[in-house]
Copies of this chain bind each other. A is one copy, B any other.
């Protein structure tokens, strides 16, 4: 291709988890399962199916165990659940989902309080307890997440140094237990990132931990989601998180009107056009996105699902030339 982009990236599908928890309660478990099963036919190898969080706080995910039990599993696909404390981890372990142990912190202290009910120090203590549970279960930490890494609706701009400090706290708490996370995921929880900030933040984290892979969890609140993804791709980022049809948002981020995650099919379209392999079938992704829109019953922000891929225009063109 004559460029320095990665040859291949990995996309974790967040739609069934982050998307459905951002919608009003009442989406039937069977509909959620239908979307997960549709997504599993697209080439996606990791699908976040549900969250094991307190159903009093997030009634949309009260059926987490039911989802896990109902999904027909497809070989080669990891079906994930998210937890944010020990009780959630225990619930996840009681299912047959594929466990992905993570540690996490929030660059914004206020967001950490609202989303996780913890101070920065309390959140690190929580990670220490989580790592102990992971180790007791024979599991290792697979990723360190930093929420609100690009800005916060409560605290406004977030200093790059504050993000580096949170990554350091997570690396340190893992090191105490003899571990090292292989991946740090920088989350634009509220859609405040821009391409230059993506570059600065990745640069700062790489400068300090050259061996740490970096992932991006991006939202498209203000239309820059794919521009930010492109900035990450140009820097060789190979781990992305996105949502089918652009489902998503965070119910505790203080801005309910905003668009959700970057759309998986838009990211897959970008990658296909610039020659970065994803292993994804764009037409199957568009079909899944259309199903997601049917399930939620309102328009979702994904673009490619409406504009369509370019394949049909290219094939029509061939026919025209005959």
- State whether A221 touches B313 (Cβ < 8 A): no
Which of B222, B270, B313 sits near A224, CB closer than 8 Å? B270
Which of B230, B255, B306, B320 sits near A227, CB closer than 8 Å? B230
A19 to chain B, nearest CB (A): 16
A322–B197 CA distance with the chains assembled, in angstroms: 27
What residues on B are CB-neighbors of A3 within 8 Å? 196
- State whether B258 touches A320 (Cβ < 8 A): no
- State whether B197 touches A270 (Cβ < 8 A): no
Which of B151, B227, B273 sits near A313, CB closer than 8 Å? B151
- Tell me if A6 is interfacial: C-beta within 8 Å of chain B: no
What residues on B are CB-neighbors of A317 within 8 Å? 152, 154-157
A182–B269 CA distance with the chains assembled, in angstroms: 34
The answer to whether A230 and B156 touch (CB under 8 A), given A259-B306, A259-B307, A269-B222, is: no
- Tell me if A88 is interfacial: C-beta within 8 Å of chain B: no
A43 to chain B, nearest CB (A): 18
What residues on B are CB-neighbors of A155 within 8 Å? 317, 320
Which of B190, B222, B273, B308 sits near A304, CB closer than 8 Å? B222
- State whether B270 touches A223 (Cβ < 8 A): yes
Q: Most chain-B CB neighbours within 10 Å: which of A153, A156, A258?
A: A156
The answer to whether A273 and B194 touch (CB under 8 A), given A306-B259, A307-B258, is: yes
What residues on B are CB-neighbors of A190 within 8 Å? 313
A162 to chain B, nearest CB (A): 13
Which of B157, B270, B303, B316 sits near A220, CB closer than 8 Å? B303
Q: Most chain-B CB neighbours within 10 Å: which of A222, A224, A315?
A: A222
What residues on B are CB-neighbors of A299 within 8 Å? 299
> Which 6 pairs from chain A and chain B are nearest by CB?
A156-B317, A223-B266, A223-B303, A221-B307, A194-B273, A156-B314
Spell out A's residues near B (CB within 8 Å).
3, 110, 151-157, 190-192, 194-197, 220-227, 229-231, 254-255, 257-259, 262-263, 266, 269-270, 273-275, 299, 301-304, 306-310, 313-318, 320
